[in-house]
Amino acid sequence: MNHILVVDDEREIADVIELYLKNDQYEVLKFYTGEEALACIESTKIDLALLDVMLPDIDGFTILKKIREKYHFPVIMLTAKTEYIDKITGLTLGADDYIAKPFNPLELVARVKAQIRRYTKYNDGGRTENDVIDFGSLFLDRNSHECVFNEKELTLTPIEFDILWLLCENRGKVISSEELFENVWHEKYYKNSNNTVMVHIRHLREKMSGPMGKSDFIKTVWGVGYKVEE
């Protein structure tokens, strides 16, 4: 069970965060002051911290600096402020993510899961960032052939995995059917090869679809090819 440190002097917000995290089977260590949080960090194994910037005794940036002197676990900053400088300050000091209040508790839980997953995968020995694609709601691991989308593990064929990897590796860029076919199948592209690509893209979309219908994660650029947005 992962231990999540929650530090926020707004008790209602801290209580809501605690409720949602506990519903996902996280062990929550909740504090309303920075001093209590720092004492906990010294005595307890922490897997991720959620830090409010504005606290009554020590601000969240100071706590973050103290954490980064000794620890590498993920830190997500929480703040009611929306000034760009606050975000830059937090990320510069070593924060892994930044969520502005008010926020959707379900989005917060999803961000927590993504940060823990990323930290675990990058620190399990031998794995590098070149082996992993992790952005938004998607996680791909080339070594284990693991694919997680919207917190759901997908079973992909090797061809489907390679298509998705190529599109994500080039996210923001349109990849033509010809380029997809020749890079994934390692064969020369012919006219009928486009049908093969279309069928596999359709299968991928079906596997990535939610309860409301097909996923639009992979976008079609008509007459050009396919792309995944950044």
- Residue range 58-108, pLDDT digits in tens: 988 999 999 998 898 999 998 876 666 666 777 778 888 888 888 899 989
Report pLDDT digits (tens) over 174-199.
999 999 999 999 888 887 888 899 99
User: Considering the chain, what is the average pLDDT of its residues?
Assistant: 87
Contact 145, 161 (CB under 8 A): yes
pLDDT band at 48 (very low <50, low <70, confident <90, very high): very high
What type of residue is 55? L
Torsions phi, psi for 67 (to 5 deg): -60, -45
Judge whether 64 and 37 are in contact, CB under 8 Å: no
Burial category of 165 from C-beta neighbours within 10 Å (exposed 0-12, middle 13-18, buried 19 and up)? middle
Q: Could you give the CA distance from residue 186 to residue 183 in angstroms, rounded to a whole number?
A: 5
Q: Is the pLDDT of residue 211 over 80?
A: no
Q: What is the pLDDT of residues 101-148, one digit of tens each?
A: 888 999 899 889 888 887 876 665 555 557 888 877 888 888 888 898
